[in-house]
Amino acid sequence: MLKLPAVLTHSRASGFFQTLTKEVASMPQEVTVDASALSQFDSSALAILLECRRQAMAAGKHFSVQGAPGQLLQLATVYGVAALIPAIADQTSAVAA
């Protein structure tokens, strides 16, 4: 499982991004991202999730996110990418119901 840090803003995303390829490659058939620690983030967190998804899909792996904070769900919806992030899409639907 890939755990996102508590702070994932533009200034910190590039450092995290550099480890992403190695982390995704080392995971078996499923790439799960734990976003529960996120407390301070911006759209860079979505960029990291989308890149993680892209790499997982390119490697033929399943991708999911767990523990996404409500504000991240809202941000994904505003940017129109919630459907690309499975758990976020599921949680957004549950919130809307």
Degrees, nearest 5: CA angle 94-51-2 = 70
State the fold for domain 2-91. Transcription Regulator spoIIAA (3.30.750)
Max Cα–Cα distance, the chain, nearest Å: 38
Looking at residue 48, its pLDDT comes to 93
The DSSP symbol for 9 reads: -
More confident residue, 82 or 90: 82
- Identify the three-state secondary structure at position 76: helix
Half-sphere exposure of 92 (CA within 13 A, CB side): 19
Looking at residue 14, its pLDDT comes to 84
Place of tokens 């940017």: 79
Contact (CB, 8 A) for 33 and 49? yes
Average pLDDT estimate for 14-32: 87
Looking at residue 90, its pLDDT comes to 54
